[in-house]
Structure 1
C-alpha cells in the first residue's frame, strides 16, 4: 500500500446537496426548504419526465441559460422519475409543512376585521402548531412569524437529506445550472452519504494544507455510503499546489477572488467578504485565486446578503475548518422570505455573530462596520442584508455588493461618517432577474406577470452608483459581482454580450469616474491591490 502524503487536487470541486439538489441558503431552513422542494424541485422534475425533449433542446440555447430547464439526457429520465418517487415517499413531513404554510397564509389573509386574532391559533394547520406567532400590524392587518430556532430542532430539519458530491474539472464539460438540475451519481462524480457536519467534510478540505497519509484515506471516508464512478483516490494528488499562500508583511493587501469575493489582509488580520472560490482547472489556471492561495487562518468572513452567490454554502463549508468567526446581518425575526443567517450557519457549526446597521466590530489594527444596504431584493421586507466598511491600518474600504441607491440621501448621510474611502467596490447588476426567480416558490398565491417584471433583483446603474463615489470621496473604484467569470455560470446562470445593459452601464460608470479623476476598473478573474501603510 502506498504511504505517501496526499493533497486535495486543485481541480477537485465540491457541491453540497440537499435531497440531491445543490444546497443554497434557502434549502437549509426547514420552511423555505419545504417550499422549494415542493414548488420548484418536484415541479421541474415532473416537467422533465413529461417533456424531456423540450428540456434537452432548451438547455442548448444560451438565451435560456438560468431558466427552469433540467439539464439531463434522455437516458436519465427514469433516474429523475425515481427522484420524484423518492421525494414523495421519504419527504412527506416536508410536503405537509409546505402545504401548511399555504393554509396559514390563507388564514391570515382572510382575517380582515382588525379584531383579535387569538381564535386563529386553533385553526393553524397541525404541522405548524406551536411553531408560529400570529400578530397584527399597526394597520390591523394579520400576519405571522415562524419560530425558527424551534423549527431547526424539530423533525422538519432533515440533515439526513444532506450529502456531498465531488468531481474533477478535467472530467466534465460543464457543471449544470444549480437551480434547475438535481445531481445524479454518474461516472464522473463521487457522492458521499454524509451530512454537512460530518467529520469527513473538514478532513477532506484541510487536506489542501495538511496532507493525508495515503494509507489513512480509507479511514477518512470509512463508514460513509458512496455512489458514482470516481474513487476517493481520484480526488487527491501527491503533489503540493504550485500556487501557495503568500503572507502580507506590510500595509494592506486586497485580492479580488472573483464575482463578489475579496480577501483583505494586513500583517495581523485576515478577512474574506462574500467568498465564492473557484477550483483551479486547465481553463482558468492563471485567472483565479483558488483555495491554496488563501490565508491559513481566516479571522472573519463577512457576508452581505443571503443570495447564493454571496452566501455560498459550497465555499463556506470548504473554509469552515480555518475560519474563526462569520459576521452576518440581522434578519426580520421569522418571516418566510428572510430566514436567519445566524441560525442557518450556526446549524452548520460556524461561529456566527449577527450585526445591526452601523454596528462596529473592533480589530487589532482597525474596525468593521455594517452599512445599510438598499434594494436588490424585489421590494420584499428583507432585513438580512448589509454592505461592509473595513478599516485596516488606516486604509478604508467599502464593499457594497449589489446595493442600489434609490435614495441618494442615505449616502449623503453615510458619506459624513465614512469619508475619504480608499477603495469602493460596487456591483452593477442593474437588470436583475424577476424577484420570483429566488422567492417565487415561497409564494402561496399566483404572482402576476406585471409584478414579476416590475419587481426585479436590481443593483445599481451608473446614475445610482456615481453619487456613492462622490459621497464617500472614493479614491479608487472597482465594479464587481457581475458574474462575468464563465467558471461561475453553473450557479449564476448569466451570459452577457457588449449590448447587455449591465455592460453598457458599467462602461458608462467607468467613464463617469474618470471624468471626475477617480481611478476605476471593472474586475474579472483575479486582481491584487496594495494599499501602503
Structure 2
C-alpha cells in the first residue's frame, strides 16, 4: 500500500504538518479525567463500560444516533453498527486489566454510603476502620462547617500506587486531511485501522518529544525510525508521516507593541519582543481547507508561558499539549481543590505525563517577568455548582500598563465579585469573553464520578455554560474595555470531535453574542465574535487586522 522507497535512512526529514497524536488510555481518547487514577476508574466504569455494553446490546441504535445532529456528543459509538466483536474484545481486556480500578469504584460508592449512614456530626475517628480496604491509606475523612461529611483523596499516593497504570497508556499517530472525519472522542473507543499507527508507550515518553521536534528541526529518518519498535508493515505507514520539505521559518515579532493571534476556540497566542504566552492551546493541523486558520507552523520554537484556564477537555487537550511539549518552558495552571474527586490536580497530572516547570497560580496571585505580569482572576460558574477550584481567568498586564483578560468559559453569575476585583486591578483594555452560554448538563462530564444518580430536572438546571448577554453586559460595564472579543464558542469545524457543537442562527450562544456585539457597537467599543483566525497588533492603539 505504501511506497517504502521514497525516504532513505540517511535522509534528513521533518514531520508533516498534519501529523496528529492521539493520547490513549485503555484505547479511549485520553483527557484529564483519564489520567488521575480515581477519576480514571470512575470513567472506565461509568462511561466506557456503559457505552460498550449499550453498543454490544444494540449497535444499530448507535449507528442511527450518530447521524442525528441533536445527538452529537451523546454516548454513542461511531462504527456504523459494525466491529462488534472488537468492541467485545475491548470490554474483556478492560475487565481483565482494570479489575483493581473497578474495585476502587465500588469502594468509593461504599465510602459514600458509609458517610451518608454513619457520619452524623460526631467524631469520625471510629469510621477509619470501616473505610473499604481498597481506600485505606488513600483518603482523609472530614466534615464541612455545616457538618456535611465527605472525604479527600491523597492524589500523590495514588499516582505512586498500582492504581496509576501507565500500562494502559498508548498513542495513535496518523495524518489528518479534513475537519469532518473524526468521531466524538468521549464516546467512541479507538480501534485500529490501516491508516493509524498505535505506539505502546507511556505518555511521558521522551520519544514523543524526539518525534515532534522534527516539526522545526530535521533528523535522519533512520534515527527516528530506530527509536520506535516497528514491524515492517508499521514502518511502511510510519514513513508516510515524514517529508524532506522544510517548513517555512517562523518570524519572531520584533515590534515595540503586542502581537496577538487567535488560533480558534479559546486558543490565543500573545507575543512581545521579549515574551511569548499561549493560552488554552487547541490547534489545527496544516492541510487544505476553505477556512483560514493558524496551525502548529504558526508557533515559535519556544513558548515562555502556557496558560491553562480550567480542566475541561477543550482547554486541556493532550493532543495539542503533547505535540508542543518540547517547546514549552513553563506551564501556569490553576491550583486544585487538594483531593476532591471532581477536581484532580492539573499540576500532578501534567507532571505524570512528562511536563516540567509547572506553576500553580491562585486567585489574585501575580507572576511577574520581564515585560508583563499574569494575575489569576476568579473564574465563576461553568462547573455545574460543583466545588472545583482549578479554574482561573488570566489578566495579563504589559509594561506600558495595557491590560488583557482571558475570561474563557467563566460565567458572571455574581457581578459584585468582579466589582471588587475592579477596585484592585482597574479598567481592562481588551477582554476575551467566552459565551458558550447553553452548555451541557452536569452529568455530561461529571456523571461518572457520582455515586448517586441526580434527578433529570436538577441535572438539566446545572449547566457547563459561559456568559449570556446580561452577564456579559455586566462584565463589560464593570471593566470598561476598549475591545471585546467573543471566543471559546467551539464554532470552528475542526473542534467538533471534542466539543460536539454545531450552531444555527437560532442557537442561544449566537443570539446572545449578537446582542453583545450590538451593545458594544452602541457604546463605541470595538468588538467581534472570533472565528477561524485573527491577528491583533497593539501599539499606541489597537489595530484590528
| TM norm structure 1 | 0.97
Deviation at 1:21, TM superposition (A): 0.4
Q: Can you give the 5+ residue segments of structure 2 that lack an aligned partner in the other structure?
A: 1-7, 541-545
Deviation at 1:118, TM superposition (A): 1.1
Partner residue in 1 for 2:29: 22
Distance 2:89 2:480 in 1: 58
Deviation at 1:419, TM superposition (A): 2.7
Partner residue in 1 for 2:312: 307
What secondary structure does 1:207 align onto? helix
Matches within 5 A, 1:100-499: 100-170=107-177, 174-221=181-228, 223=229, 231-242=237-248, 244-250=249-255, 251-283=257-289, 287-350=292-355, 351-394=357-400, 395-499=402-506
Number of aligned residue pairs: 530
Distance 1:140 1:199 in 2: 47
What secondary structure does 1:525 align onto? coil
Distance 2:15 2:405 in 1: 34
1:37-57 Cα offsets, whole Å, 9 max, x none, are: 011001101111110011011
Task: Specify whether residues 173 and 512 from structure 1 end up closer, same or farther in structure 2 by C-alpha distance, changes over 3 A only.
Answer: closer
Q: State the superposition RMSD in angstroms.
A: 1.6
What secondary structure does 2:433 align onto? strand
Partner residue in 1 for 2:543: none
Distance 2:231 2:311 in 1: 31
Deviating beyond 4 angstroms after TM superposition, the runs of 4 or more aligned structure 1 residues are 224-230
2:178, 2:288 within 8 Å by CA — same for their partners in 1? Answer: no
**1:36 is the counterpart of 2:43:** yes
2:331, 2:358 within 8 Å by CA — same for their partners in 1? Answer: yes
1:405, 1:465 within 8 Å by CA — same for their partners in 2? Answer: yes
Distance 1:513 1:227 in 2: 58
Partner residue in 1 for 2:4: none
1:190, 1:227 within 8 Å by CA — same for their partners in 2? Answer: no
1:58-116 Cα offsets, whole Å, 9 max, x none, are: 11111211111110134411111100000011111111111111111111111242111
Deviation at 1:225, TM superposition (A): 7.7
What secondary structure does 1:308 align onto? coil
Distance 1:262 1:225 in 2: 40
Task: Specify whether residues 359 and 225 from structure 1 end up closer, same or farther in structure 2 by C-alpha distance, changes over 3 A only.
Answer: farther
1:188, 1:229 within 8 Å by CA — same for their partners in 2? Answer: no
1:354-403 Cα offsets, whole Å, 9 max, x none, are: 11111000010111100001000001111110000012242210000001
2:430, 2:482 within 8 Å by CA — same for their partners in 1? Answer: yes
Task: Specify whether residues 502 and 76 from structure 1 end up closer, same or farther in structure 2 by C-alpha distance, changes over 3 A only.
Answer: same
Distance 2:532 2:485 in 1: 13
